[in-house]
Amino acid sequence: MKLVEFHGSVHTDIPLARFTTWKIGGNTDWMIMPSNFDDLDILMTEIRRTRIPWFILGNGSNVLFSDKGFRGVVITLGTSFKRMSISGDTVRVGAGVTLNHLAQQTAATGLSGLEPLAGIPGTLGGAAAVNAGAFGSSLLDLCIEINGIDSLGVKRSFKNIFSSYRSRVFPDDFIITELQLKLTKDDPSRIHEHLSKYLERRRSTQPLAEASAGCTFKNPENQGTGRLIDELGLKGFQKGQAMISKKHANFIINTGNASSADVVELIDYVRKRVWERFNVKLELEVIILDEYGKGLDPGGDIK
Ligand code: EPU
């Protein structure tokens, strides 16, 4: 990589396990953090020139990398993507800010809307890309504008975003850099009360202290994946060191030294069992990548 007038950080041979909540993944050839928009533009130009695979990583809370790592550039967003400003009931926020941090800040200033989403561990960019949600709310429902850059270096802005449950609405090569959200004014103490209630509900039903990537599969319409897997008696079931959580069956836990292959095997197994028993095809919520950045869908071809 030749990055002229680049002000961010450039590292090589970095273990991805350190950057994912599953704590799984071999080394990436490159890990590059543009510190601002111009840096990101320079980096994308170089990526186009070299045709090297790339992946934009937020908090690493919804992704499974390969045991072989990544033969390309993992991009993480630096300081100027971690700012936020509030004006009236509108918030402009960088894609590198975590949802939890934003929810706490907006609650403190008397802006309501993010309380159900506060416990989601991801960054705003990652959460918007997959339309993360909880307790019936989804992030994109609150977004009035999303800005970013595509792999050709074109700055793009999306308004009037139409989204549905856990759907991807932006082009695959679009990097979200900034979001604008419209919230509702309310009393800070009431917002905090709701926020605490949601966090507590999450704590009591989900294995938050263990290494996972949240829910592994989406919920099929009108059904709960956790319940389906639970009904199969699979809580605690393991492939290698990857285990179906004993607390919530849609979570896969790395019990210590799980490999990416262990998790893939478990996903494949669960999907087959759910299909055989309930005739339901589970869709992945997590992103699984091979070492060249190609998306994988283990067990997705069941017939
Ligand atoms: N259930 C079981 N066994 C289990 C887990 C759940 O029987 O092992 C039952 C529960 O008792 C409940 C129903 O299934 O009656 C629904 O469970 P829960 O309230 O835990 O919600 P969920 O549908 O499993 C969804 C989201 C979560 C989000 C929670 C809270 C999906 C795939 N999951 O879980 O999102 O935090 O609601 O609203 O939409 C994530 O996206 O990573 C995630 C964890």
pLDDT per position as a tens digit, 249-293: 999 999 999 999 999 999 999 999 999 999 999 999 999 999 999
What is the C-alpha separation between 9 and 39, in angstroms, rounded? 10
Q: Ligand 1: which atom is nearest the Cα of residue 166? A: 39
CA distances from 288 to 7, 122, 261, 264 (A): 30, 16, 11, 8
Give the distance (Å) from ligand 1 centre to CA of residue 224: 6
* pLDDT of res. 255: 98
* pLDDT of res. 1: 86
pLDDT band at 165 (very low <50, low <70, confident <90, very high): confident
* pLDDT of res. 134: 92
* pLDDT of res. 229: 98
HSE of 132, CA atoms in CB hemisphere, 13 A: 28
- Ligand 1, residues at Cβ distance < 6 Å: 134-135, 202, 205, 214-215, 218-219, 224-227, 230, 248-250, 285
Residue 36 has pLDDT above 90, yes or no: yes
Share of the chain above pLDDT 70, in %: 100
Residue 303 has pLDDT above 90, yes or no: no
Of the candidates 135, 143, 138, 145, the one whose C-alpha atom is nearest the C-alpha of residue 167 is 138
Model confidence, pTM? 0.96
Residue 79 has pLDDT above 90, yes or no: yes
* pLDDT of res. 60: 98
